[in-house]
């Protein structure tokens, strides 16, 4: 689905010397590379605070802890997402309240949020799925009206622009109280291992987040709250500083691939190409088709047989995972989520895609559909 080997080859000298520099200086933890990356990402996102951590899942967990959740609190979130979003809720004794998604953007449907708000609701966690932001303007209106916190899961959409209806433009992930992202290698901004970060414009939340990520300590060996240990290491930060400078270029390359797929697939009956919502600039972490009247699993198997990778994100929505059986979540009715789960398929999209590869993928998909 991605070609990280070719991507590395193109930046090898720079990356190798940056990693060597970390080793020579032996500042493996919280060294100058981490600080440098933090500042550069703050600048890129236009946000006051970036707090790096060990991975995207930790980012989501720490963000929830920082807004002061209590066991039993309810968190509104989509079910059509990667499990990390909702798993951390269960881990903290919170109850995920699953809401259906918009058929076109694959993101949480703001119109379905208010009806599930109760006096136990504490926060909304929208997910900017596949690379475009949820309708944050509507979500923030609802959150402000009901005094709820908002934590954005920005693991798939870093670098995406969010467009307000009045024309203001900001980066996805800096609109809610906290934004969370992942630097897992295959993400749009990926490191050479695990990594993650939280973003916020709120000074008080930023210091809480820093404290929680560092064993709940504000002063060394004085631990005020229960926290955890979650750090981005210096080698990963050194890699990320180089790749951050290329992020916009990487996004453009992904968008070009998406343009090509769009052009090719628009004429196919039963194939719905991804809808690019007005509110967000799609960064195409995934290029996901919705198939109607076409055997999706058959296509997936056919592509595999021909040596072409494709993926189903995600074959089982969160509310139907055994993990949540005890929450009674499987009785939640989410028609759009269920409908999409059976029809979506993601094709390879990455920064190193050659025209020949694209043509081969397109013609192989066409072969199956036309057969």
Ligand X SMILES: *Cc1c(COP(=O)(O)O)cnc(C)c1O
Comparing CB distances to ligand X, the nearer of 56 and 227 is 56
Comparing CB distances to ligand X, the nearer of 53 and 365 is 53
Work out how close the CB of 99 gets to ligand X at its nearest, in angstroms, rounded to a whole number.
15
Near ligand X by CB under 6 A, which window of 81-89, 114-122, 199-207, 244-252?
81-89
Rounded Cα distance, 98 and 76, in Å: 6
Work out how close the CB of 61 gets to ligand X at its nearest, in angstroms, rounded to a whole number.
10
Work out how close the CB of 149 gets to ligand X at its nearest, in angstroms, rounded to a whole number.
17
Answer for the pair 255, 226: CB distance below 8 angstroms, yes or no.
no
Rounded Cα distance, 269 and 182, in Å: 36
> DSSP 3-state assignment of 191?
coil
Specify burial of residue 93 (Cβ count, 10 A radius: 0-12, 13-18, 19+). exposed
Rounded Cα distance, 39 and 327, in Å: 41
Please identify which residue in 82, 130, 162, 261 interacts with ligand X, judged by CB under 6 A.
82
Please identify which residue in 34, 45, 50, 56 interacts with ligand X, judged by CB under 6 A.
56
Comparing CB distances to ligand X, the nearer of 81 and 149 is 81
Residue 81: closest CA among 64, 100, 58: 100
| CA triple 262-267-273, angle to 5 deg | 35
Residues found in the chain: 371
Work out how close the CB of 30 gets to ligand X at its nearest, in angstroms, rounded to a whole number.
19
Near ligand X by CB under 6 A, which window of 20-28, 77-85, 95-103, 359-367?
77-85
- Which residue's C-beta sits nearest to ligand X? 56
User: End-to-end distance of the chain based on CA atoms, in angstroms?
Assistant: 25
Rounded Cα distance, 100 and 178, in Å: 22
Angle between helices 247-265 and 234-245 (to 10 degrees): 60
> Under rule CB under 6 A, how many of the chain's residues touch ligand X?
15
Work out how close the CB of 218 gets to ligand X at its nearest, in angstroms, rounded to a whole number.
26
Give the residue carrying structure tokens 């990487």.
Answer: 250
Binding status of residue 264 toward ligand X by CB under 6 A = no
Please identify which residue in 22, 64, 84, 113 interacts with ligand X, judged by CB under 6 A.
84
The DSSP-derived string for 148-160 is: -EEEEE-TT-TT-
Work out how close the CB of 60 gets to ligand X at its nearest, in angstroms, rounded to a whole number.
6
Near ligand X by CB under 6 A, which window of 78-86, 249-257, 273-281, 294-302?
78-86
Binding status of residue 85 toward ligand X by CB under 6 A = yes
Comparing CB distances to ligand X, the nearer of 84 and 238 is 84
Rounded Cα distance, 154 and 150, in Å: 12
The DSSP-derived string for 70-127 is: -TT-EEEEESSS-THHHHHHHHTT-EEEEE-B-TTT-SB-GGGTGGG--TTEEEE--B
Work out how close the CB of 127 gets to ligand X at its nearest, in angstroms, rounded to a whole number.
5
Rounded Cα distance, 76 and 100, in Å: 10
Work out how close the CB of 145 gets to ligand X at its nearest, in angstroms, rounded to a whole number.
26
Binding status of residue 87 toward ligand X by CB under 6 A = no
What part of residues 221-260 is at the interface with ligand X (CB under 6 A)? none
Helix (H) or strand (E) holding 75: strand 74-78
The contact mask relative to ligand X for 172-211 (x = CB under 6 A, - = no) is ----------x-x---------x-x---------------
Mention every residue, 6+ apart, whose C-beta is less than 8 A from residue 10: 352
Work out how close the CB of 359 gets to ligand X at its nearest, in angstroms, rounded to a whole number.
28
What part of residues 120-179 is at the interface with ligand X (CB under 6 A)? 127, 153, 155-156
Near ligand X by CB under 6 A, which window of 50-58, 109-117, 131-139, 222-230?
50-58
Binding status of residue 55 toward ligand X by CB under 6 A = yes
Give the residue carrying structure tokens 């993928």.
Answer: 361
Binding status of residue 321 toward ligand X by CB under 6 A = no
E strands, 228-292, in order: 271-272, 287-291
Give alpha helix (H) positions in 131-198: 136-146
Q: Please report, as ranges, the residues that interact with ligand X according to CB under 6 A.
A: 55-57, 81-82, 84-85, 127, 153, 155-156, 182, 184, 194, 196
């Amino acid at each position: 689905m991605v070609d990280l080997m070719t991507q590395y080859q193109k930046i090898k000298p720079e990356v190798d010397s940056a990693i060597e520099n970390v080793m020579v200086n032996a500042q493996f933890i919280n060294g100058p590379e981490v600080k440098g990356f933090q500042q550069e990402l703050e600048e890129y996102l236009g946000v006051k605070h970036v707090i790096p951590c060990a991975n995207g899942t930790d980012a989501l967990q720490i963000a929830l802890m920082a807004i002061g959740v209590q066991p039993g609190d309810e968190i509104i979130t989509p079910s059509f997402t990667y499990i990390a979003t909702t798993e951390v809720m269960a881990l903290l004794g919170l109850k995920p309240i699953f809401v259906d998604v918009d058929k076109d953007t694959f993101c949480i449907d703001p119109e379905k949020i208010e009806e599930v708000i109760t006096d136990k609701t504490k926060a909304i966690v929208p997910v900017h799925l596949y690379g475009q932001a949820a309708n944050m303007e509507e979500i923030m209106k609802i959150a402000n009206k009901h005094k709820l916190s908002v934590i954005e899961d920005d693991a798939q959409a870093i670098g995406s622009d969010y467009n307000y209806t009045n024309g203001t433009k900001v980066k996805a992930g800096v609109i809610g109280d906290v934004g969370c992202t992942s630097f897992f290698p295959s993400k749009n901004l990926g490191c050479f291992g695990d990594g993650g970060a939280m973003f916020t414009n709120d000074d008080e939340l930023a210091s809480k987040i820093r404290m929680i990520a560092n064993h709940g300590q504000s002063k060394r060996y004085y631990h005020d709250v229960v926290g955890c240990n979650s750090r981005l290491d210096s080698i990963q930060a050194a890699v990320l500083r180089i790749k951050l400078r290329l992020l916009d270029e990487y996004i453009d390359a992904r968008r070009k691939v998406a343009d090509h797929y769009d052009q090719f697939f628009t004429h196919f009956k039963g194939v719905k190409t991804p809808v690019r919502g007005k509110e967000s600039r799609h960064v195409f972490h995934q290029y996901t088709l919705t198939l109607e009247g076409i055997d999706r699993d058959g296509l997936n198997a056919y592509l595999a047989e021909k040596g072409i990778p494709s993926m189903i994100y995600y074959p089982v929505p969160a509310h139907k995972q055994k993990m949540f059986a005890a929450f009674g979540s499987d009785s939640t009715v989410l028609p759009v989520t269920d409908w999409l789960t059976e029809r979506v398929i993601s094709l390879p999209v990455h920064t190193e895609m050659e025209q020949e590869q694209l043509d081969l993928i397109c013609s192989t998909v066409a072969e199956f559909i036309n057969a």
